[in-house]
Amino acid sequence: MPADLIISIAGTELAVAEREQLEHPAICGLILFKKNFKNRKQVAELITEIKNSSVTELEISVDQEGGRVQRFSNGFSNLPALATYGEQWHEQPAQALDAAYAHGLTTGRQCSAVGVSVVYSPVVDLDWGLSEVIGNRAFHRDPEVVGQLAKAMMLGLHDGGVVAVAKHFPGHGGVAADSHTEGAVDQRGLAALQEDMAPYPVLIEAGLKAVMMAHVQFPRIDPLEAGYSNFWVNQLKKKLGFSGDIYCDDLSMVGAHSAGSLIDRVMLTREAGCNRLLLCNFSVEEKAGLLAELY
């Protein structure tokens, strides 16, 4: 039985049913959101309780990018959007690299101090000027700039004590659709997508430990969304030589619904080669049904 499911909880305290669910051997981690956070003390105590609820070591994760995607606030540094460093690069590239590293280091230290072990950052998507959901979450349009800034931030996160998860492979910046709320389809071919993937070898060579797949379809290459696609996972593993953890983005997102039922989504993601599956907005009952059906 693979331990590959990362779940969420409803509030700032752990309910009895949630605590019992964390004991299931298929659960490998828990992702926290703004709804789970009041302040540093509260979230540290919550994480301790979560970890004590499982006989295995659970990974605790969070989206703490900077800018508009920061789940933790009160007691955590309010850091800028990643595009800030891309803008700084034009005039002061060395300072931009230092700032991106410091951003990652601060995030890593503050998150690890409360018990978080994984941060879903940096965003490695290129800013093609098409995607509002990505927008200023991306460093830059130039893949070389993105690679260098993302590498600096990744190293800062690692030095701060957390695993950095680069996202969203092979790229979410080339579509206007928000895969959280609708299906996202990118009609470009493989040659055109080489730019979007270009930052990843830079990160892999520097010690990248984890990647998150995009809930985007590239029908000219494969009819399946990237997180369900053995082709795209193999691009990462075999062509780019990545050997770390591969995360499938939240299976509750509308962009993930093309695979059918929840159990179909889980099975297809596993078959593709992902070993971390995010189940972020499902009720305790829905997750219990999935676990009963799978196991």
Quick one: angle between helices 143-159 and 93-113, nearest 10? 40
The pLDDT, as a whole number, for residue 128 is 96
- pLDDT confidence tier of residue 258, bands split at 50, 70 and 90: confident
Provide the pLDDT for residue 182: 80
What per-residue confidence (pLDDT) applies to 179?
A: 75
Digit-coded pLDDT (tens) for 41-99: 999 999 999 999 988 899 999 999 999 999 999 999 999 999 999 999 999 999 999 99
The predicted structure's pLDDT at residue 210: 99
Predicted local confidence at residue 72, as pLDDT: 98
Tell me the per-residue pLDDT of 96-113, one tens digit each, with 9 for 90 and over.
999 999 999 999 999 999
Instruction: Report the predicted TM-score, pTM, of the whole model to 2 decimal places.
Output: 0.96
Catalytic positions, written as ranges:
180, 249
Residue 174: what pLDDT? 95
Q: How much is the pLDDT for 194? A: 98
Question: What is the rounded distance in angstroms from the CA atom of residue 114 to the CA atom of residue 253?
Answer: 28
Give 171's contacts (C-beta < 8 A, 6+ positions apart). 125, 126, 186, 193, 196, 197, 214, 216
CATH class as words, domain 5-294: alpha beta
The type of residue at 286 is E
- Cα(189)–Cα(283) distance, integer angstroms: 38
Residue keyed to tokens 């931030």: 153
Q: Which residue has the higher pLDDT, 259 or 60?
A: 60
Portion of the chain with pLDDT greater than 70, in percent = 99
Report pLDDT for 4: 96
* Residue matched to tokens 């979007």: 196
Is-contact 145 202, C-beta < 8 A?
A: no
pLDDT tens-digit series, residues 121-169: 999 999 999 998 999 999 999 999 999 999 999 999 999 999 999 999 9
Closest CA to 161 of 125, 115, 201, 128: 115
Q: Write down the pLDDT at residue 201.
A: 99
The arithmetic mean of pLDDT across residues 214-224, rounded, is 96
pLDDT in tens, 267-283: 999 999 999 999 998 99
Q: Given this model, what pLDDT does residue 211 score?
A: 99
- pLDDT tens, residue by residue, 3-36: 899 999 999 999 999 999 999 999 999 999 999 9
